[in-house]
């Protein structure tokens, strides 16, 4: 009798006891009982200091692969430090493009010599972890307005 109880207890522990996912679990297992959302990608943060001249400007930002926009973010700059977040980004290497709507026109126009808006480019590699791109404010603007839009 004692032996049977021990066996039943062991098998319950091994097979019947639901487990709780740890934070960040991809939740692909089916034996647990939690309701965590399945994890579909990583968070990429675009940050940098010295963006005070753009406080109050609206921005748009994208992560771009060879076929198009993978992630998009928009908002209004404040506080001098840029802090733009992309969610659910799959593993990969991306071009990062962002602009501040300096002239307040609501769209991106940037080319020599007028630079109505200021546009930057950088790159990021995302591999099984959240990633951060740090690009402090500078005057190395590029004309990438055509690449900056919501996913189509």
* Through-space distance between the first and last CA atoms of the chain, rounded to whole angstroms: 66
Nearest approach in angstroms of CB 65 to Ca ion is 25
Nearest approach in angstroms of CB 107 to Ca ion is 5
The residue within the footprint of Ca ion, chosen from 25, 58, 103, 147 (CB under 5 A), is 103
Contact flag: residue 87 with Ca ion (CB under 5 A): no
Nearest approach in angstroms of CB 133 to Ca ion is 23
What values do phi and psi take at 6, rounded to 5? Answer: -65, -40
Q: In this structure, are residues 147 and 68 in contact, taking their beta carbons and an 8 Å threshold?
A: no
Strands 131-134 and 42-48: parallel
Nearest to 99 by CA among 77, 81, 78, 129: 77
Choose between 110 and 131: whose C-beta lies nearer to Ca ion. Answer: 110
Nearest approach in angstroms of CB 105 to Ca ion is 4
Which pair of tokens denotes residue 61?
């930002």
Choose between 70 and 101: whose C-beta lies nearer to Ca ion. Answer: 101
Q: How far is CA 78 from CA 34, 50, 106, 112, in A?
A: 38, 11, 17, 27
| Binders in 104-123 for Ca ion, by CB under 5 A | 105, 117
Contact flag: residue 58 with Ca ion (CB under 5 A): no
| Residues in touch with Ca ion (CB under 5 A) | 101, 103, 105, 117
């Amino acid at each position: 009798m004692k032996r049977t109880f021990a066996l039943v207890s062991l098998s319950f522990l091994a097979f019947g006891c639901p487990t709780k996912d740890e934070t960040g679990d991809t939740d692909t297992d089916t034996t647990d009982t939690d309701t965590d959302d399945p994890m579909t990608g990583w968070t990429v943060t675009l940050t940098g200091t010295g963006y005070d001249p753009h406080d109050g400007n609206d921005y748009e930002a994208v992560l771009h692969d060879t076929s198009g926009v993978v992630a998009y973010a928009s908002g209004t700059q404040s506080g001098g430090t840029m802090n733009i977040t992309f969610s659910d980004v799959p593993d990969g290497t991306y071009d990062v493009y962002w602009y501040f709507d300096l002239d307040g026109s609501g769209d991106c126009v940037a080319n020599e010599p007028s630079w109505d808006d200021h546009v930057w480019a950088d790159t990021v590699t995302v591999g099984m972890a959240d990633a951060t791109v740090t690009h402090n404010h500078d005057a190395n603007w590029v004309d990438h307005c055509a690449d900056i839009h919501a996913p189509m």
